[in-house]
Amino acid sequence: MKARGARGARAGHAGRSSRAPTPRALSHVDAKGRARMVDVGDKDLTERRAVAEGRIRMSREAFALVKANRVTKGDVLRVAELAGIGGAKRTAELIPLAHPLPLDHVAVEATLDPKLRGVRVRAEVRLAGRTGVEMEALTACAVALLAVYDMVKAVDRGMAIGEIRLLEKSGGRSGTWKRVEKLKS
């Protein structure tokens, strides 16, 4: 099932009708096909928000140790949350064409999920600015999940990180977009 935007539009096209989308140019590519950083200098300052999620599956043994907070390296969930916050703040150092942003708020929540037999991470990022914070929310999730892997790898090197995805974004010219379908365990 494809994700739908705020008014029934296809994912990534919130606010448009359900007719065939109009092709759009890639914003990070110039007329000659070279990568470029988007000039956001003329954009209005607006409240921007993005929420992303991701997950990591692990063995029964690893899950039990994380649940009991008995992993040798420490509290896996709290370290993952701190790592995610740090990742959001450093997105522009990791993603070459991302703008360095003065983030107003970053919240990362790592929770155990017995049905998944793993950890789910949810990140919310906000700022008042000229460009969105989707990359910061996605990076927060990715880094938090990598921290889980790092802390638990001595017990389970077969852990699988996946389903890192944007759930919603608001602000800017493109307005609000929300993912409709839910992640299955």
Catalytic, out of 75, 104, 113, 150: 150
The single-letter DSSP state of residue 99 is P
- Residue burial 43-81, b: 16+ Cβ < 10 Å; e: rest: eeebebbbbbbbbbbbbeebbebbeeeebeeeebbebbb
Q: Is 150 a catalytic residue?
A: yes
Helices and strands (DSSP H and E) totals, the chain: 4, 5
Residues with catalytic function: 150
